[in-house]
Amino acid sequence: MKLYLSGHSYQYAVEQSLLTLFPDQRPAYSNQAPTPQEAAAWSTLTVSEDLAVAQTRIQLAGRTAVQTSHCPTSALTGSLVTDRLLQRLIKQSFFKAAMELREGSPPPWGMLTGIRPAKLASRALESGMTAVETHRLFRETYYVSESRTQLALDAAKAGLAAKASLDPADLSLYVGIPFCPTRCAYCSFVSADVQKALKLVAPYLQALYQEIAACAPLLEEARLRLRTIYIGGGTPTTLSAPQLDRLLTQIETQFDLSHVTEYTVEAGRPDTITPEKMAVLAAHRVDRVSVNPQSMDDAVLEAMGRSHKAADIYAAYQMVRDAGIPMINMDLIAGLPKDSLDGFRCTLDQVLALNPENITVHTLALKKGARLMMERQGLPSGAETAAMLDYAWDRLRAAGYLPYYLYRQKYMSGALENIGWCKPGCEGLYNICIMEELHTILALGGGGSTKLTDPDTGKIIRITNPKYPHVYLERVEQICANKQDLVPFHQALQARRDAEDIQSRR
């Protein structure tokens, strides 16, 4: 679809609205007017003394729709508020025009295109809006369905409870291990097949130890303390038991772990889990481990490139339990190739019978670089995937699980979402912190993305490590130097808070 913007530069907002509402279309730009047969959209923004008005005109398949949205110019206070309101108007007008032309039911998340809908609900509640008012905001302003509105409110409440539990000095540590035994068909993460990259594992770990040693003193200098640790990837348990032991030893000897209340390791792939590795994790006081089947159907596992069987998942789960690790998460994916509604129901029922503390239900996202993005064969329809999620909601709530965090991704089947469910009191704090952007995440290792976060203003500065292990090895000195920015960022944040505290006492 050709896009024509006038009076604004919010290109991303228009493109995301297009991709959400017309997933078969792709944005294109031209200096020439479209022919009457071409798909096109005109997005115009006009700000006068009294009103800000967004208008969208869409022509598609010989039909045309025009819609507008507006707000008082007096509401445009400050750059951040102005950006949010103007983008909302643009998306609203696009959504209303699209709904005149679009076939099928409205998307479940309405006009929302961001990956963190619960953060929007949290912001509304913190501003003084009641739950009823926030509910109305989602339903009437953003056109979100009833079920997704309730989901956002549930996740927002969990997020606000997590925020209240944090100390201003808290931050989280992420450590990336970008290796996997094989690559899954849906995966776009930068992770090296360990069979091909075996020679890189040992030098990668040495470089990672160097980054750990360089970054640990920064926390003391910035007067920060670790609250949660998350070791992800890739699949960290691709490492051998001795390698895991040394990595965790490096972390606990370099960092002060006395305030850590949550320590997670993604074991993920059942074919990487052994009693020896689980004993290492337990010895280092890891209290959360992921065992991620994605499916309990052998045919689906084969189609997605897994080398293990469903029976191996049961064995791996029992190894974690036998090691005494108290919290287990299990990931499932709705919409996998060769899966069906009945097959997904069977998978979920089997996982529920295992009684893990956390179950994360993902919706398949077709990502650039993933094999499924190119093949797209044997995938359930968006409607069938939505029915899978509906079944999961009903079964999980009936079993006593609660939704505690959620996020969305581009190109998700049915424009749906990923939801973390947990038994009461078993919320994963790290997951909430990273999704709600509650505090700084210090990320080490290949592909790690540090987010220096000012929760008072919403300001975030990203420091991204190279994705590929061999590039990480080449640039480790510069990577360590880049992390120095953590100190002045948090010193300035603390100085501002101290000044505000003094002012409030006068």
Q: Are residues 437 and 318 in the same domain?
A: yes
Residue 72 has pLDDT above 50, yes or no: yes
Do 300 and 191 belong together in one domain? yes
Same domain, 191 and 339: yes
- Give, for 68, the enclosing helix (H) or strand (E): strand 63-72
pLDDT at 236: 95
Range name among 225-234, 355-364, 366-375, 388-397 with the lowest pLDDT average: 366-375
Domain boundary among 104, 130, 153: 104
**pLDDT per residue over 21-54, tens digit each?**
998 899 999 999 999 999 999 999 999 999 999 9
The two three-digit tokens of residue 143, written as one number: 């056109």
User: Are 41 and 2 spatial neighbours (Cβ–Cβ below 8 Å)?
Assistant: yes
What 3-state DSSP class applies to 505?
helix
Residue 357 domain flag: yes
CB 125 within 8 A of CB 156: yes
Residue 156 domain flag:
no
* Residue 68 located in a structural domain: yes
Task: Report DSSP letters for 293-346, one per residue.
Answer: -B-S-HHHHHHTT--S-HHHHHHHHHHHHHTT--EEEEEEEET-TT--HHHHHH
Residues 307 and 173 in one domain: yes
Q: Which of 98-102, 145-149, 220-224, 361-365 has the lowest mean pLDDT?
A: 361-365
Amino acid letter at 275? P
Please check the confidence at residue 479 and state whether its pLDDT lies above 90: yes
Q: What predicted TM-score, i.e. pTM, was given to this entire model? A: 0.90
Range in 56-60, 140-144, 378-382, 428-432 the model is least confident about: 378-382
> Is there a domain that residue 506 lies in?
no
Q: Which residue has the higher pLDDT, 187 or 19?
A: 19
Residue 371's pLDDT is 47
Per-residue pLDDT band for 333 (boundaries 50, 70, 90) equals very high
What CATH number should be reported for the domain holding residue 79? 3.30.160.100
Task: Kindly state the percentage of the chain with pLDDT values over 70.
Answer: 94
CATH number where 471 lies: 3.80.30.20
Phi/psi region, residue 265 (left: phi>0; alpha: psi -120 to 50; beta: rest), is: beta
Query: For 415-419, 463-467, 490-494, which range has the lowest pLDDT when averaged over its residues?
Result: 415-419
**In a shared domain, residues 51 and 190:** no
Task: With respect to residue 356, please indicate whether it lies within any of the assigned structural domains.
Answer: yes
Q: Give the number of other CB atoms < 10 A from CB of residue 299.
A: 13
DSSP 140: I
Residues facing residue 192 across a β-bridge:
179
How confident is the model over 4-14, as pLDDT tens digits? 999 999 999 99
Long-range contacts of 478-483 (CB under 8 A, 24+ apart): 479/211, 480/210, 480/211, 480/214, 480/215, 483/211, 483/214, 483/215, 483/218, 483/442, 483/450
135 in any annotated domain: no
Which tokens in the block code for residue 40?
């096109």
CA 92 – CA 86 distance, rounded (Å): 10
- 398 and 256 co-located in one domain: yes
Is residue 306 domain-shared with residue 212, that is, in the same domain?
A: yes
Nearest-angstrom CA–CA distance, 480 and 465: 10
- pLDDT value of residue 373: 44
pLDDT of residue 154: 96
Segment 108-134 mean pLDDT: 95
pLDDT tens sequence across 51-70: 999 999 999 999 999 999 99
pLDDT of residue 116: 93
Within 10 A of 82 (CB to CB), how many other CB atoms are there? 15
> What digits encode the pLDDT tens for the residues 339-369?
999 999 999 999 999 999 999 999 998 655 4
Q: How far does Cα 381 stand from its chain's mean position?
A: 23
Per-residue pLDDT at 365: 82
pLDDT above 80 for 437: yes
Residue (of 304, 232, 314, 302) closest to 273 by Cα position: 314
For the cut 50, the answer to whether the pLDDT of residue 374 exceeds it is no
Q: Kindly state whether residue 236 falls inside one of the protein's structural domains.
A: yes
Is residue 173 located within the same domain as residue 97? no
Please identify, among 64, 79, 104, the residue that sits at the C-terminal boundary of a domain.
104
Do residues 191 and 264 both lie within one domain?
yes
What's the mean pLDDT in 464-473?
94
Residue 439 lies in a domain: yes
Are residue 62 and residue 177 in the same domain, yes or no?
no
394 shares its domain with 263: yes
* Mean pLDDT on 269-298: 96
> Is the pLDDT confidence value at 421 over 70?
yes
Average pLDDT over residues 435-460: 95
- Indicate the pLDDT class of residue 370, thresholds 50, 70 and 90: very low
More confident residue, 458 or 401: 401
Residues 396 and 305 in one domain: yes
Tokens (6 digits) for 172 = 């989280």
Number of domains in the chain: 2
Please give the structure tokens belonging to residue 401: 């699980």
414 versus 125: the higher-pLDDT residue is 125
**Full domain range(s) for residue 45:** 1-104
Domain stops at, among 72, 88, 104 = 104
Taking only the tens place, the pLDDT of each residue in 152-196 is 999 999 999 999 999 999 999 999 999 987 665 555 555 455 566
| Mean pLDDT score of the chain | 92
Q: Average the pLDDT over 400-425 and give the result.
A: 90
Which H/E stretch holds residue 89?
A: helix 79-101
Residue that the structure tokens 């320590």 belong to = 263
Distance of CA 407 to the CA centre of its chain: 5
